[in-house]
Structure 1
Amino acid sequence: MTTETNGTNAPKNGASSLNGTSGHPNGYKLGDFSIDECRPMRVVCIGAGFSGILAGIRFPQKVPNVDLTIYDKNPAIGGTWYNNKYPGLSCDIPAHTYQYAFEDNMEWSAFYAPGPEIREYLERVANKYKVMKYIHLEHELVGAYWQEAESKWRLRVKRPSPNSTPENKQYEEFEDKADVLFTGLGSLARWHWPDIEGLKDFKGCILHSAEWDVTERSWQESVKDWGDKKVGVIGVGSSAIQIVPALQPRVAHLVNFVRSKTWLATPFLEEKMSDLLGRDPAGSYVFTEEDKQRFRDPAFYKKFRHNMEHELNSTYQGTLKGTKVQQMIRAAFTENMRQRLAKKPWITEYLLPDFGVACRRLTPGPGYLEALCEDNVTFEPTHIRRITETGIELVDGKHHDLDIIVCATGFDTSFQYPFPFVGRGGITLREKYTPHPRTYLALCVDGFPNWFQSCGPNSGVYGGSLVAILQQQVDYAVKATLKLQRERLKSMVVKKEAVDDFDEYLEAYFPKTVHTEKCRSWAKMGKDEGRVVGLWPGSSLHCLRAFAHPRWEDFDYQPLDPVKNRFYWLGDGQTYNEKTLTGDRAWYLNPDEVDYPPVPEN
């Protein structure tokens, strides 16, 4: 019996051809692979903070046949929680709302967890889930270039050379390639010195909050000899608000130089914590052994954590202009600040803002206002003219003699990275982010295929857990990688019109919020006015919903194989386990696969 053909190598009746694929009169042949025969995917992640560690968990968990590498420029993991070691460093939202959803910590020592504890938490998570095997420390990304012909990212990475020593650091560069690039570079990771005349003339010790002495095991150890020192702290952002009360009892005199106004919040969720723990709302923020013992009860801990995040996610209305919630919290914060500054009420005139609550980054700042009222602290609202050899001179000619100057002057929040980031056709990210960043849902950028990010422009939130947002951003990148793998695509890139539409949404959204009022804010690239680039356009819960179901129609794709048929990825009509008679061939009955519907009571 012979098979009739129609002038081609493909059998007319659709039977298998000699190479094991089915044919078609037009010459189309099925792929010789199974639908779930997953091709290798090379994924490179930049950064080993909250996002990078999570990427080290989720990519191996969910992407089969993945080859993952995580590069971090620091000698240890932790990201911003490694970089920052300044006095008083702590989380400025309750610790129980600042952890992975799947990894509880029942041993936080305080309501606002100290920075070292957060870093220890991240190290513990990384070790538990065996993430360290993917991480290469002291490996800094110095260039990223999209290679169109290969549809891969070419990465230049700097690392210590083999003959490098701690005393004589030497570096070398090498190249790596990735099918997918995921970056968790952080929005508050690139600090800078203040632009003040004479900064280098000071003969005493000058420090930046983001570059504290990394040779010490603790900040307490680094300031143990400051008891007779006169210390100046420049700034009134979240870092300065933590540094001032930490240093005040440890130095002879402290001067806080403040040029801006800021809101000090009533402690976030303090009343809810007190209610759940049955303690005095005005009590200590340090957890007692009795508190910790209650946290070790899984049922109580689950209830406590859920209630804390429930309350944290109930504050969105406070960011909108003219709402009753905004008016109520403004009145409450005003009264709270006046009470805490009762010993030096004149400070209120210089510190209490005329802009809305949450225009600037909001922090409760336990102990800050109380520290300003102490006898060994001077609150200095007069602007700085210059730094001299012996201290700081103000614009009115007054001079403060100082032994130590601490610059708590913030970060570069322009998202202009200090290395070339080059996309399709030679377009650079710097060009795309000028005059301000333009992204698609804070996740990716047109012209930059196979690149996804966390902690990028417009991904910060007020009134919600940032870690929950980071988890969704990582999951989005994982879903995109799976789509590239499953559908045999060599590239996907968001459409320019989708970026334009998100940009239009941003422009329409923020004017109704307090974020656009006149105040110097990191969310506006450190400016008083202008585009809001640091925050998500909506609540944190709104952000989670937006990321949950990707709109794949907003992307353009290029197939891996030179075949026009969009269903080529269906392969040879079978799964790998069937073809090889290996593995589970009834996986859809497994408990974690079956979606059991609830039985209605009525």
Structure 2
Amino acid sequence: MASNTLYSDVVCIGAGFAGICVGAQLQVQLGVENFTIYECGSTFGGTWFWNQYPGAACDVPAVLYSLSFAPKPDWSSMYCPYPEILEYLLGVARKYDLERRTKFRTAIKSARWDEEKRRWLLVARNIDTDIEFTHECKILISGTGQHGTPRTMADLEAANCELFEGPVVHAARWDHSVDLHGKRVVVVGNGCTAAQIVPAIADRVNSVVQLSRSRHWLVPDQRLPHQGYMRFFASRLPFFQKFFRLFIAFFLEIQWPYFTKSFLGHLMRSHFQKEATEYVRKMAPKKYHKILIPDFPFGCKRRVLDENGQYAAVLHKPNVALHEENIVSFSKNAVHTKQGNTYPADVLILATGFRGNDGGLAPLPTAFFKTNDRGFSYSILRIYGRASIPLDEYWRKEFGGPAAYETVAVNGFPNYFIIFGPNSNTGHTSAIIGIENGVNLRAYHDKVQAKLKKTVFGVNCGAWYMHGGHNSSTYPWSAITRWWHCTFPQWRDWVLV
């Protein structure tokens, strides 16, 4: 090992929920103190550091969207805004003294397995100075998640992007210097993010035109007892918060069958579709009903939670318009759609989500971002296993997309583990459960894909997690099944050396 090469027993890439969870549990569960976390942002938070758009909030109850070993009894509301979630993560990082073990504003460019040394050699780059250095470790953990690489203007496949002169802001890389007051704003997207942005900016802009490229089921939020009572009991009864968390987990878990193509699943989807349809017809303007009521099964794509009914309400405002149209070209201060319409725009907001199946998963997302006048430039993190095989190439040739044994391990890449990796996502409960659960591959992959085809996740509804018929994002079983497999591993499937 070269004298200027750093060394740690464990290196984790990413300092969001996954990285913080790894750092805490390495100390508490395994007694490991010699570890390093790399993060391209300037602080902890991951998704909640980068996604600071107006109205950003979690659409999962906060009591469950948190780490089980770091409960917070005083969440301000059922669905918390991003500043509160970010502050929570910073608090957990402080509690476990992670800052001194974390290198911020540093991107990992590549990681290569050395068979002779049985170590990983990482090439890192300081984003501010462009200085590169190397770091060796025995165990490499990817905690970059599935929402690392935003879809940019290039993903719109529209002509003349360079002609548009106004600011272009992606929700996942929000530019707080852009003034929206009195501006004509075009929002591209119709998912969870857009449904939070539009109500948050409607009162300060001249106009908002939202262009929906595909439909989503819009559902009312599920309000439980007043949060004030929850805080009161949680602060006075030690067992209460654990009980309430278990209650919420159970409440969400029993909804799992609606993803299956069973008779029960059909009945449950029919119920949820009826509820969502009635909600839209009651709350949203009639002229938008067709756009807001999909023709595909409930659960095929992530539902859009309308917290406090704010999205349906904002569609009644005279300065807000919703259209189901695709942008085909840009001009100096307007966007032009396939349907032949032109919409003036001073600012373009991209609520277009992330690259999920073609690089947005674990080891393939952008290692770092640098904003420029048209969006982002990025560097792909390369992982090389035995025989210097690139991970993205291995995935593409062997499986047609990302795949991992029990969502965490990949054959041919020793001591490499993915937190919230391929097929670890859920459509019905908290992603944090999947992250905590994550602390013969071909057979497992085929089993996962076959099971997905028996659920609504296999329906072609334009979901972000589908690419060429391959789903590398969602988990085809319940969260309880995932917990069981991670708690009681099948050691016969592992090679220990």
Does the alignment reach a TM-score above 0.5?
yes
Out of 89, 95, 104, the position equivalent to 2:62 is: 95
- Return the index of the structure with the highest Cα Rg: 1
Aligned to 2:294: 353
Out of 521, 536, 542, the position equivalent to 2:463 is: 521
Structure 1: tracts of 5 or more residues without a match: 1-39, 161-168, 217-221, 278-286, 475-497, 559-602
Q: CA deviation at 1:180?
A: 0.6
Contact 1:87 1:243 in 2 (8 A): yes
Distance 1:555 1:394, change over 3 A: same
How many Å separate the matches in 1 of 2:322 and 2:244? Answer: 39
Aligned to 2:343: 400
Contact 1:41 1:66 in 2 (8 A): no
How many Å separate the matches in 1 of 2:422 and 2:451? Answer: 15
AA aligned opposite 2:124: V
How many Å separate the matches in 2 of 1:229 and 1:131? Answer: 42
Q: CA deviation at 1:438?
A: 2.4
Distance 1:101 1:209, change over 3 A: same
1:233 aligns with 2:192: no
Distance 1:124 1:98, change over 3 A: same
How many Å separate the matches in 2 of 1:146 and 1:352? Answer: 49
Residue 250 of structure 1: SS of its match in structure 2?
coil
1:505 aligns with 2:447: yes
1:86 aligns with 2:27: no
Residue 249 of structure 1: SS of its match in structure 2?
coil
Aligned to 1:457: 422
AA aligned opposite 1:237: G
Structure 2: tracts of 5 or more residues without a match: 1-6, 366-379
Structure 1 range deviating more: 80-89 or 435-444: 435-444
Distance 1:149 1:391, change over 3 A: same
Residue 250 of structure 2: SS of its match in structure 1?
helix
Aligned to 2:152: 193
Distance 1:506 1:306, change over 3 A: closer
Residue 556 of structure 1: SS of its match in structure 2?
coil
Contact 1:314 1:463 in 2 (8 A): no
AA aligned opposite 1:454: I
1:455-514 per-position Cα deviation (integer Å, ceiling 9, x unaligned) = 21111012222212211211xxxxxxxxxxxxxxxxxxxxxxx10111121132012211
Q: CA deviation at 1:94?
A: 1.1
Contact 1:464 1:539 in 2 (8 A): no
1:260 aligns with 2:214: yes
Q: CA deviation at 1:66?
A: 4.5
Aligned to 1:316: 256
Residue 460 of structure 1: SS of its match in structure 2?
coil
Distance 1:396 1:520, change over 3 A: closer
Aligned to 1:29: none
Aligned to 2:90: 123
Q: CA deviation at 1:41?
A: 7.4
Out of 44, 63, 66, the position equivalent to 2:11 is: 44
Residue 469 of structure 2: SS of its match in structure 1?
coil
1:172 aligns with 2:131: yes
AA aligned opposite 1:178: C
Out of 160, 182, 200, the position equivalent to 1:246 is: 200
How many Å separate the matches in 2 of 1:384 and 1:368? Answer: 23
Out of 331, 335, 338, the position equivalent to 2:274 is: 331
Q: CA deviation at 1:80?
A: 0.7
Aligned to 1:556: 495
How many Å separate the matches in 2 of 1:556 and 1:125? Answer: 34
AA aligned opposite 1:227: H
> Which has a greater percent of strand?
2
Residue 343 of structure 2: SS of its match in structure 1?
strand
Aligned to 1:380: 323
1:119-173 per-position Cα deviation (integer Å, ceiling 9, x unaligned) = 100000111121222111112100000001001000001115xxxxxxxx43111
Provide the TM-score with structure 1 as the length reference: 0.73
1:420-460 per-position Cα deviation (integer Å, ceiling 9, x unaligned) = 21000121101122121122111111110011111211110
Provide the TM-score with structure 2 as the length reference: 0.88
How many Å separate the matches in 2 of 1:308 and 1:507? Answer: 29
Aligned to 1:419: 381
Q: CA deviation at 1:210?
A: 1.1
Distance 1:373 1:41, change over 3 A: same
* Aligned residues with identical type, % of pairs: 30
Aligned to 2:37: 70
Contact 2:182 2:205 in 1 (8 A): yes
1:81-133 per-position Cα deviation (integer Å, ceiling 9, x unaligned) = 10111111000111111011122212222211101111100000111121222
Contact 1:361 1:522 in 2 (8 A): no
Residue 171 of structure 1: SS of its match in structure 2?
coil
Contact 1:46 1:141 in 2 (8 A): yes
Contact 2:8 2:36 in 1 (8 A): no
